[in-house]
Amino acid sequence: MTTWNSWLFWPNSVALSVLALAVLAMLFLYAARKPMHGVIHSVCALLSQSTRFIARWLFLCADNLKLRNQSVLLAHGQENQVTVIEREFERVGNMVRKDMQEFPALQRRMMEEATRIEEDYRKCGEIPPPPPEWVSALQSVAKIKTGGDIPRKLLEDINKSIQKIHDQTVAEFRRSYEERHKILQAMQPSWRSLEKMAGEMDKKMLTLQTDAKQIDGHMGKLQDIKAKENKTEHALTVSGFVQLAISSLVMVIALGGAFINYKLIALPMSEMVGASDYITNSLKTSDVAALVIILMEASMGLFLLESLRITQLFPRIASMDDRMRQRLMYASLIFLVILAAIESSLALMRDILVADKVSLMRDLASAAPAGSDGLLTSIPMIGQMIMGFVLPFALAFVAIPLESAVYSMRTVLGVFLVQAMRGLGFLLRFTGLLLKRLPKVLELAYDVLIVIPLLIERWVIGMRAGSPGAGNTEDKEISKLRRAA
Partner 1 sequence: MNKFLTLLIVSFGMILVSACGDSRIHSHAVYMLVDTSGTYAQEMNKASKIVNYLLATLNPGDSLAVAKVETRSFTEKDIIAKVTFDKRPSQATSQKRRFKNNIEVFAKHVKGSAYTDITGGLIQGAEYLNETKAGIKTIVVFSDMQQELGKGTIRDFPIRLDGIRIVALNVTKLGTDNADPRRYLDRLAQWEASVRKAGATDWVVVNDLENNIESILATR
Q: For residue 301, give Cα distances in angstroms to 190, 305, 328, 387.
A: 55, 6, 12, 17
* Residue 81 binds to partner 1 (criterion: CB under 8 A): no
CB-nearer residue toward partner 1: 119 or 356: 356
* Residue 370 binds to partner 1 (criterion: CB under 8 A): no
* Residue 263 binds to partner 1 (criterion: CB under 8 A): no
* Residue 267 binds to partner 1 (criterion: CB under 8 A): yes
Q: For residue 436, give Cα distances in angstroms to 311, 397, 484.
A: 55, 58, 19
Number of residues counted as binding partner 1 (CB under 8 A): 22
Cα 16 to its chain centre, rounded Å, is 78
CB of 353 to partner 1, least distance (A): 6
* Residue 372 binds to partner 1 (criterion: CB under 8 A): no
* 176/168 Cα distance (integer angstroms): 12
Exactly one of 86, 133, 356, 475 binds partner 1 (CB under 8 A); which one?
356
Residues, the chain, total?
A: 485
Residue type at 149?
D
CB of 63 to partner 1, least distance (A): 34
CB-nearer residue toward partner 1: 281 or 467: 281
* Residue 114 binds to partner 1 (criterion: CB under 8 A): no
* Residue 252 binds to partner 1 (criterion: CB under 8 A): no
Please, which residues bridge with residue 460 across strands?
none
CB of 402 to partner 1, least distance (A): 19
Exactly one of 15, 100, 364, 375 binds partner 1 (CB under 8 A); which one?
364
* 234/241 Cα distance (integer angstroms): 11
Exposed/middle/buried for residue 225 (C-beta within 10 Å: 0-12, 13-18, 19+): buried
Exactly one of 275, 310, 324, 338 binds partner 1 (CB under 8 A); which one?
275
* Residue 295 binds to partner 1 (criterion: CB under 8 A): no
What SS3 state is found at 159? Answer: helix
Which span sits near partner 1 by CB under 8 A: 165-173, 240-248, 364-372, 390-398?
364-372
* Residue 328 binds to partner 1 (criterion: CB under 8 A): no
* Residue 277 binds to partner 1 (criterion: CB under 8 A): yes
CB-nearer residue toward partner 1: 153 or 362: 362
Is 301 within 8 Å of 392 (Cβ atoms)?
Answer: yes
* Residue 290 binds to partner 1 (criterion: CB under 8 A): no
CB-nearer residue toward partner 1: 246 or 331: 331
* Residue 279 binds to partner 1 (criterion: CB under 8 A): yes
Task: Write the DSSP assignment of 74-130 as a string of letters.
Answer: HHHHHHHHHHHHHHHHHHHHHHHHHHHHHHHHHHHHHHHHHHHHHHHHHHTPPPPPP
Exactly one of 324, 360, 370, 463 binds partner 1 (CB under 8 A); which one?
360
The DSSP 8-state label assigned to residue 275 in this structure reads: S
Give Cβ neighbours of residue 430 (< 8 Å, ≥ 6 apart).
none
* Residue 294 binds to partner 1 (criterion: CB under 8 A): no
* Residue 319 binds to partner 1 (criterion: CB under 8 A): no
Closest C-alpha to 306, from 408, 410, 392, 400: 400
Interactions with partner 1, residue window 299-318 (CB under 8 A): none
* 313/247 Cα distance (integer angstroms): 15
Exactly one of 194, 250, 353, 415 binds partner 1 (CB under 8 A); which one?
353
Contact residues for partner 1, defined by CB under 8 A: 267, 270-271, 274-279, 281, 285, 288, 352-353, 356-357, 360-361, 363-366
